[in-house]
Structures are given as C-alpha cells and as structure tokens.
Structure 1
Amino acid sequence: MNNKSSIITKLAFLSVSFVVTSAYAIQGSLPQLKAALNVTQTQSEYLVTTPSFAVMIFVVLSPLLQEWFHISDKKIIMIGVMIVGFAGIVPMFVDNYTTILISRLILGAGYGLYNSQAISMISVWYEGTERAQMLGWRAAAEQIGQACTLTIAGLFLSFVGWHFSFAVYFLAFLVLIFFALRVPNDSQSQDEDIDEDNLAGNLTKSQPTIKISPVVYLLVLFAFLLVTDYVGMENRFPGLAVMIKGSHYAGSSMFLSLMLIGATLGGISYGTIQKRLGFGTVYLGLGLMALANFLFGFAGRNFVMMVVGLLLIGFPLQLVSPLIFNLLPDLAPANRQPLVTSLCLIGFNFGSFFSPSIAEWTNHLLGKPTSGMGLAAPFPVYGVVLILIAIIIFVATRHTAKQAQ
C-alpha cells in the first residue's frame, strides 16, 4: 500500500487540483480564437466561462451518481480527470465554434464530477494539522496549476498557433496516471467517521444557529459580483493587450500567470492579515480591488498601468473570498452547512459563467463598443460598485453594533 504521508502520495492527491482550474488556460488565446472562428468578443469569452456552468450542475449531481452507481471517491475523480483530458483536446482538431463550446461544456462536467471529492478525500485520509496543511496546499495547487497551464498554453500559442494551445489538456492524462498509481483505494481509509456536518458542527458550537440567515443570500450575491469582476478582467486583458501591442502580440498568458501569483500570495497571507485587521480585512480587500479596477479601466493605451491593475486584483480577491466561507458557520445550523457552502460555490461559478454578458451589458449601458479600447469600459463601474458595497457593509455593521449595545 502507498504511504499516505509520503511526499509522492501527497503530490498525487494534490495533482487533481492542479488541473481543476485549467479551464482558464486558453485566456491568452482569446484574440486569436475570436479572429479564427469569426465570433464576437462575448462569444469568445464564453469559451472560457462555459465550463463553470457545467461545474455548477455536476457538483450537485456527482454525489448522486456516486450513490446510484456505487462509485468510490477515487474512481469518480479518475473519471472526471479522464473527461477533462478528452474534452479538453477536442478543439485541437476542429474549427467550429459550436463544437468547441460543447467540448468546453463537457470539460466543465469533468471538473464538477471530482471537484468536491478532491477535498473530501483529503479530509478522510488526513487528520489534524496534516489535514489543514494539505487543504491549504490544495488551494495553492489550484492557483499554481492555473498559472502553469496558462503559461504552457501561451507557449503553444506563440510557437504553433491557437489550436495547439489546447494541447495543455494532455496534462490531465499524466495526472490521471499519477493519481491512479499513487493514491490508495478508498477502502483502505482508516478515518471513515468524518463528515462535513460534524466539521461544521465543531465550528458552530459556540453560537448555535437554528435557521439559515438571509445574510447567506447576500454573500452569494457578493461572491457572484467578485468573480464577475475578476474573470472579466482576465478575459478582456488579452484583447486590450493586442490593441495596444499589435495583432501578433502573444504575451498575455505570461501576465495572466503573474496575476495568479498575486492571488496565491493573497491566500497565503489571508490568515495573518485577518488576525491583525479582523473584519477590517474586507475593507482592505474591497479597496484594493476597486483600485485595481480604476487602474485597469482608466489606463487607456498605457500598457504598464493596465498591467499593474491586472496584477493587483488577484491579491485582494483572496483576502475577501475566504471571509465569505468564514462567516457561514454563524449564519446557518450545522446540518445546513453543506447547503450554504454549495450556494456560495454556485455564486462564484455563476459569476464566472455570466461575466462576459455582465461586461457586455455594462458596455451597452455606457454606450461603449465591445471591441477595441472599449473592452476596458466596465471596470471603473465595477470599481464604484465595490466601493458602494464597502460603504453598505460599514453602515450595516455599525447599525447592527449600535442595536446590540
């Protein structure tokens, strides 16, 4: 039996999270895809965000499928990764937009099949500090994976064209083999009594809650808005970079990868900052996100200013998004924690999926074209919305504090 505490086995557990964010790997190719497929900016952006729609569906279906067909966590993860590999490489061989869009939908189904199981297997196999460490590394693996797949896809784009940027999904087959060989079978687990309800219950013992607070639904909306902004900037940067640097520019993937380093640093430093600032962390995060939007939106043809805005936005996102999940234990009873957590995950995925349409609607409201430098138009609006959210949160918390006195 493989030793679960060995570095190789731990890397095998983490490897499936490495590819779970690879839907974004083709963002640097969007200008070339748009031109080659003769589609609109919004249609090209949906090639990146459509997998999120399928993720939302299959995150819910996955446990049901496991129960109906008696599939173990390890096997459902392997099936999901296999689907990612096969669906991911389809665009290498076709030039039809509808076919590529369907393949991206199937790609998202693969992610959705195993996303939650990648977390639950770690919770089952590891305990205490080792479990917390593994879950932290898992989150970092997602960011590092997105950065690496973006870079690899960008290199393929530069040297052999947009078709081959999809060759990055061959990585899924390497992950599949590594995971299959090194991760022990579920039946060998010695920690079967752990479940999410018990974990949630430990978090809520101090302040038992008897019903779901309406604040949960505000947090779902909050999650939706945060990711709409973040993914929108990722999607529109390559088009703006081409407008500034010229039609043959293919360096967008490098900057999108650097953006993810900022997001990783934000996640790593969240605990330390939250310890110092407490709830004030949300104001710091929203303020920095707003600043990033203003830099990006008002940069015009100043490429350096635009890149600074792009690189900045990931760090505060990872300061704010953990807060959403940290608040949930006090907003719903223990037996409803899986539900409210799923709702917030759906909020994040909805934000990702609808980001192209929200950006397009904002362009129309402002009377700006969804092409050329008009691609930057929505972001100052997003910045203002973030500041308004910060003010509303500040006023609401002050009002609640006064009532409690």
Structure 2
Amino acid sequence: MSNKNSIVTKLAFLSVSFMVTSAYAIQGSLPQLKAALGISQPQSEYLVTTPSFAVMIFVVLSPLLQQWFHISDKKIIMAGVTIVGIAGLIPMFVNNYTVILISRLILGAGYGLYNSQAISLISVWYEGSTRAQMLGWRAAAEQVGQACTLAIAGLILSVAGWHASFLVYALAFVVLFFFAVRVPDDSASQDKNVAEDDLADDIAEEPKQITKISPVVYLLVLFAFILCIDYIGMENRFPGLAVQINGSQYTGSSMFLSLMLIGATLGGLFYGSIQKRLGFGTVYLGLGLMALSNFLFGFAGHNFIMMVIGLLLIGFPLQLVSPLIFNLLPDLAPADKQPLVTSLCLIGFNFGAFFSPTVGQWTNALLGQSLSGFGLAAPFPVYGAVLILIGVIIFFATRHSQKAN
C-alpha cells in the first residue's frame, strides 16, 4: 500500500491532471489549421473547445458507469487516459474537419471519465491545509501539462506541420504507465486509511453541520463559466492577433502561450499560502488581476508587447481562483451533496470553455466588430468589466449568506 504522503504517490495522482488540459495543445496551430481546412475562425476555435462539451457529459456519466460496472477509481482513470491518447492521435492521419471534430469529442469523453475523480480523491485523502495545498498543486499540474504540451506541439508544428503536432498526445501513454505502476487499485482500503489518519482531527475539532446547498455554490458555478469563457477565449484568439501583428508566416504563438502557463503554474503552487492568508479574499485578488489582464490585452492594438503582458498575466489569477472554488465546496454543501456540487462546478468550467467561441462571436456582433484582424481583441475589455461586476455580486451575496447563518 502506498503512503499517501509519499512524494511519488502524490506525483502519481497529480500526473493524470497533467493531461486534462492537453486539449489546448493545438492552439498554436489554429491559423495553419484554419488555412489548410478552409474553415472559419469560430470553427477553428471549436477544435480546441469541443472536448469540453464531452467533458460536461462524461463528468456526470463517470460515477454512474463506475456504479453500474463496479469499476474502481484507478481503472476509470486509466480508461480515460487511454481514450485521450488514442483519440488525440487520430487527426494526424486525416484532413476532414468533421472527422477531426468527432475525434476531439471522443478526446473530451476521455477527460470527463476521470476529471472529477482527480479532484475528489484529493478531498478524500487529505484535509485542511494539506488538501488546499494538493488542490493547488493539482491546478499547477494542469498548467504544467498544458505548457509542456503546447511547447511540444508548437515545436513539432514548426518542424513538421500541423498534422504532426497532434503527436503530442502520445504523452498520455507515458502518464498511463506511471499511474498504473505507482497507484494501488484498492480504493476502499485507501479510503479506510485516510479516515483513520484523520480521526484524531475529527475528534479534536467537530466539523460544522451543513444541511443544505448554499446559494454561493451557484455563484461559483457562474463564476467558473465566465472564467473559462475569458481565459480560453484569450488563448484561442492570441495566435490570430499575433499573426495580424507579425505577419502570416509567424509561428511563435505556442511559445507565448506556454510562457502564460508558467504564471498559471505559479498561481497553483502559491495558492495554498495565499489562501491561508487571504481566505475568501483570494477571489477578489484573482478577479482584479484577471480584469487588468483583459484590459491590457483588449486595448493593446498594434502593441504586441502590451498584448503579451496581458496574456502572460491572466494565468496566475485564474489558478488562484479555480482551486479555491473546489476548496470552498466542503463548507457550502452537505457531505452527500459534494459529488453534485463538484460536478456542477466542473460543468461550469467546461461549458464556459466549450461556449467561449460563440460568446466571443456574439460579443463581436454586439460591438459591431469583425471576426478578423484586430476585431479579435474586441470582447476582452467587456469581459474585464463583467469580472468586476461578478466580484461585486459575490461580495454582497457572501455577506448576505453570512448574516443568514
């Protein structure tokens, strides 16, 4: 039986989160994909965000499949990672947009099979500050994975073209091997050990009794939805704007997208210490920094440096907020409702990611801006203003909930 506090065991569980955000690895290839397949800007963006639609469905189906077929957590996670590896490689061999889009849906199904387990197992194994730290590390693992897959796919793109860039999904099989070798398959025994380890803490401090789902949960779901519309939208539109500024032959977008994820990784790594100091105030810090990044990105115009600063800034505050959302849930809903509220927040994140191209298109239409050239930057000042408004709403809703309790 693996020691839950072993660094190797922790890395094994975090390793599966390494691939969860690899759907975005092909973002640097979008201008080339768009030209090669003869598709529109929203169609090219949907190649990145369509996996999120399948994630929403399979986040709900995954626990049901486990119950129906009596599948352990380890096996469902391994099945999901295997699907990611196989479906991710399919676009290497085809030129048909519809076939590639379907393969991306299957890729998302793989993510959805194990996404919630990667989060809930941390809540089962760890408590208090250790749980907050592990959730932050899990968020950091996602960003490290996205940075690595983006960088690798971008390097392959510059050498061998957009088809070959999908070879990056072969990394899923490396993750699968590490996870299979290191993580034990006795989930019940693991849960029992965790319960025994935490028994002294439970005796020392009786947990607060929660009888119903707090309305703050639904605000957090909305928050997750808007965060991903903004974050994924900026990632998707940066390559097109970079080409507009630097010329049609420019292929350096993947490098900057990878650098953006360094900030996101730092946000995940430092989340535990920041949350310990600021508590719920971490939400407001994250919102303020994200709004600032949107204004820099949206108003940059021909200033490539200003646009890059806005891009690089957005990752850090996102990873302050996303683990906080999951860390707050145990205090906002009864124990038997935790799977439900976790799934709701995951659906919020993934629906926002999936719907990001359409919201961006609608925002462009409302502003009277085209979906080409510098019109691609038009939605982001609006997103920044919305984030500030959401911060105000969360502030007053939280105060109301505290007074009610």
Please confirm whether the aligned pair reaches a TM-score higher than 0.5, indicating the same fold.
yes
Q: Secondary structure at the match of 2:280?
A: helix
Cα gap change, 1:58 to 1:205, in 2 (>3 Å):
farther
Cα gap change, 1:131 to 1:278, in 2 (>3 Å):
closer
| Structure 1 position 274, deviation (Å) | 3.3
Cα gap change, 1:382 to 1:6, in 2 (>3 Å):
closer
Partners of 1:396 and 1:134 lie apart in 2 by 28
Partners of 1:281 and 1:185 lie apart in 2 by 36
| Structure 1 position 67, deviation (Å) | 2.0
Cα gap change, 1:382 to 1:94, in 2 (>3 Å):
same
**Paired position in structure 2 for 1:298:** 299
Partners of 1:242 and 1:4 lie apart in 2 by 47
**Paired position in structure 2 for 1:92:** 92
Q: Does the aligned pair in 2 maintain the 1:124–1:189 contact within 8 Å?
A: no
**Paired position in structure 2 for 1:73:** 73
**Paired position in structure 2 for 1:367:** 368
**Paired position in structure 2 for 1:59:** 59
**Matches for 1:4-403 after TM superposition, within 5 Å:** 8-120=8-120, 135-186=135-186, 189-192=189-192, 207-396=208-397
Q: Secondary structure at the match of 1:71?
A: coil
Q: Over residues 211-232 of structure 1, what are the superposed CA-to-partner deviations in whole Å (9 max), with x where a residue is unaligned?
A: 2233322221111111111110
Cα gap change, 1:355 to 1:192, in 2 (>3 Å):
same
Structure 1 gap segments, 5+ residues each: none
| Structure 1 position 267, deviation (Å) | 2.1
Partners of 2:187 and 2:295 lie apart in 1 by 53
| Structure 1 position 132, deviation (Å) | 6.5
Partners of 1:383 and 1:298 lie apart in 2 by 11
262-271 or 100-109, which moves further after superposition?
262-271
Q: Secondary structure at the match of 1:220?
A: helix
Q: Over residues 240-285 of structure 1, what are the superposed CA-to-partner deviations in whole Å (9 max), with x where a residue is unaligned?
A: 0111111111111111111111112122223333344343332222
205-214 or 252-261, which moves further after superposition?
205-214
Would you say how many aligned residue pairs link Structure 1 and Structure 2? 400
Cα gap change, 1:136 to 1:319, in 2 (>3 Å):
closer
Partners of 2:259 and 2:401 lie apart in 1 by 40
Aligned-pair identity (%): 80
Q: Does the aligned pair in 1 maintain the 2:139–2:323 contact within 8 Å?
A: no
Partners of 1:36 and 1:178 lie apart in 2 by 36
Q: Over residues 144-185 of structure 1, what are the superposed CA-to-partner deviations in whole Å (9 max), with x where a residue is unaligned?
A: 111100000000111110111100011112222232233333
Cα gap change, 1:135 to 1:362, in 2 (>3 Å):
closer
13-22 or 362-371, which moves further after superposition?
13-22
| Structure 1 position 133, deviation (Å) | 5.7
Partners of 1:286 and 1:132 lie apart in 2 by 19
Cα gap change, 1:385 to 1:156, in 2 (>3 Å):
same
Partners of 2:296 and 2:132 lie apart in 1 by 36
Partners of 1:293 and 1:242 lie apart in 2 by 19
Partners of 1:219 and 1:132 lie apart in 2 by 17
Partners of 1:326 and 1:129 lie apart in 2 by 10
| Structure 1 position 123, deviation (Å) | 6.1
| Structure 1 position 316, deviation (Å) | 1.4
Q: Does the aligned pair in 2 maintain the 1:79–1:110 contact within 8 Å?
A: yes
Cα gap change, 1:157 to 1:279, in 2 (>3 Å):
same
| Structure 1 position 136, deviation (Å) | 4.4
Cα gap change, 1:273 to 1:179, in 2 (>3 Å):
closer
Partners of 1:280 and 1:305 lie apart in 2 by 28
| Structure 1 position 337, deviation (Å) | 2.1
Q: Does the aligned pair in 1 maintain the 2:132–2:327 contact within 8 Å?
A: no
Partners of 2:130 and 2:334 lie apart in 1 by 27
Partners of 1:14 and 1:221 lie apart in 2 by 26
Structure 2 gap segments, 5+ residues each: none
Q: Over residues 312-360 of structure 1, what are the superposed CA-to-partner deviations in whole Å (9 max), with x where a residue is unaligned?
A: 1111122233333344334322322221121111111111110010000
Q: Secondary structure at the match of 1:247?
A: coil
Partners of 2:239 and 2:247 lie apart in 1 by 11
- The one-letter amino acid of 2:245's match is I
Q: Secondary structure at the match of 1:208?
A: coil
| Structure 1 position 404, deviation (Å) | 7.3
Q: Does the aligned pair in 2 maintain the 1:125–1:189 contact within 8 Å?
A: no
Partners of 1:349 and 1:78 lie apart in 2 by 21
Partners of 2:370 and 2:113 lie apart in 1 by 38
